[in-house]
Amino acid sequence: MKVLRRNDADYADKLRQLAEPSSLFDPGIEERARGIITRVAAEGDVALAEFAERFDGAHISHNHLAITPAEMFSASIKADKTLRDAVAAASKNIAAFAKKGRRKDWSTKNSHGATVGEKFDPFHRVGIYIPGGTAPLVSTCLMTITLAKEAGCEEIVVCTPPRRDGSVDPAILFAATQAGATEIYKVGGAQAIAAMALGTETIHPVQKVFGPGNAFVVAAKRLLFGRVAIDLLPGPSEVLILADDSANPKYIAADMLAQAEHGSGHERMWLVTTSGRILSGVEKELARQLEDCRRREFITRALENDGWLIEVIDLDHGIKLVNELAPEHCELMLKNTKSAVAGIRTAGALFVGAMSPTVLGDYVAGPSHTLPTGGAGRSFAGLTVDQFQRRTSIVEYRQESLKKALPVVQKFAELEGLDAHGRSAEIRLGLKAPAVAAPKAAKKKAAVKKSASLNGSVGPKASSKGAASSVAKTKRR
């Protein structure tokens, strides 16, 4: 854990360290992800099976990557009432929130009286990555697949890492099936992103890839952008807590530990506070509460790698730092949260007040917990249902509206030297094509040729003939 107080001699230098690129932009990770993508593109299912053994320790035949109906049925049988109730309760809020965010078709009249508008269609086939590894994220099934279903996607492909015995966690299978998955495959990591984007013998390619993952998953998404549509760059978890002297150190420590326990070691946790007393209190609470955590090893590694306790001069400086870091989750434990809510513009999600821990957003509040990390929040928003919809613009002109538009079309066609553009509008109104002016280069060439034919005695051939005649006369003399 790194502690930074506002009176420290190296305060400015350490603040600059905070803005260093995250693991999302590690060139070594990117190069390894590129190698995985190349193998999947060349070898398909065989490469997927080999990577499952190498990275997950699971021996899976390349012919058995797909989850079978029998496996889905078995997962359903194993789902007890508490799991069923939890999935149903969370799904209710997530689906209700998603319904509010769906884009609706619209149309209006433009200045020419033509009809213009947009229509929104669900992607037909989407791919969703569900992390597994040390912490099978059952909640992520609901936070992603539910949105695809609410958007109306017909084919929802899910990839998730296998366990060592070659199976998939039954709770993930149950939640994914309940949320609306139509296909599930035992494939994890960067190779899963490559398979969904490029296709293999078993996994047909999708139109868009969604879902959070580790640094390799995010690197693969970046590398494949353009070959397939990508949602955003949700990598290892982050939380920043902005607090004043009214905050409770116990709450802050608990929330930092919760995000540190994911297990990749690349998680990032920040406390930004105006109070030295709160900073000291959180430092003590972290040490005390860590003793009760089952995943102490993962948490300790994450806190040592990128855990920060930072004292700032005032709340304005704190808000400025938040906007520079663009955290995935930002909790506001302040006497007055209104100015912070208005001033923070880059966080993936805001959790307002002491009774709004990040864990509510992780599981049950309603908005998707798939959010940008690694500073990507400066440009990307979190996952929303409209990202599963494809936008198409619509233009419908009639004769009268085309007449009104014609002068502007003609002017732009003239300015750009694209006469066929203008003609495509003019021909519909029965206008004759104007005489085509010869290009300047052609005019010049024609002028030179005409001049030569009119003045044959001065042309090259005439000059040669004249010179030969003179020589002959000289010889005769």
List pLDDT tens digits, range 443-468: 555 555 555 555 554 444 444 444 44
pTM beyond cutoff 0.95: no
CB 57 within 8 A of CB 132: no
**Residues 368 and 147: beta-carbon distance below 8 Å:** yes
> How many angstroms separate the Cα of 165 from the Cα of each of 52, 54, 170, 187?
11, 13, 13, 13
Place of tokens 């959180």: 282
pLDDT at 303: 93
Say how far residue 391 (Cα) sits from the centre of its chain.
17
Q: Model confidence over 135-174: pLDDT tens digits?
A: 778 999 999 999 999 999 999 999 999 999 999 999 999 9
Predicted pLDDT of residue 214: 86
SS3 477: coil
Residues of the chain with pLDDT under 50: 457-477
Active site residues: 328-329
* Strand 389-396, strand 115-122: pairing: antiparallel
Residue ranges of domains in the chain, CATH in brackets? 28-233 (3.40.50.1980), 236-369 (3.40.50.1980), 397-443 (no CATH)
> For residues 150 and 100, is the Cβ–Cβ distance under 8 A?
no
User: How far is 147 from 385, CA to CA, in rounded Å?
Assistant: 5
Pick from 215, 252, 370, 363: which is nearest to 1 by CA? 252
- In single-letter form, the type of residue at position 41 comes to A
> Taking a C-beta distance cutoff of 8 angstroms, is the pair 141, 160 a contact?
no
Strands of 167-276, DSSP E = 183-186, 208-210, 229-230, 238-243, 268-273
d(CA 458, CA 274): 93
Yes or no: say if 148 and 180 are a contact pair by the CB < 8 Å rule.
yes
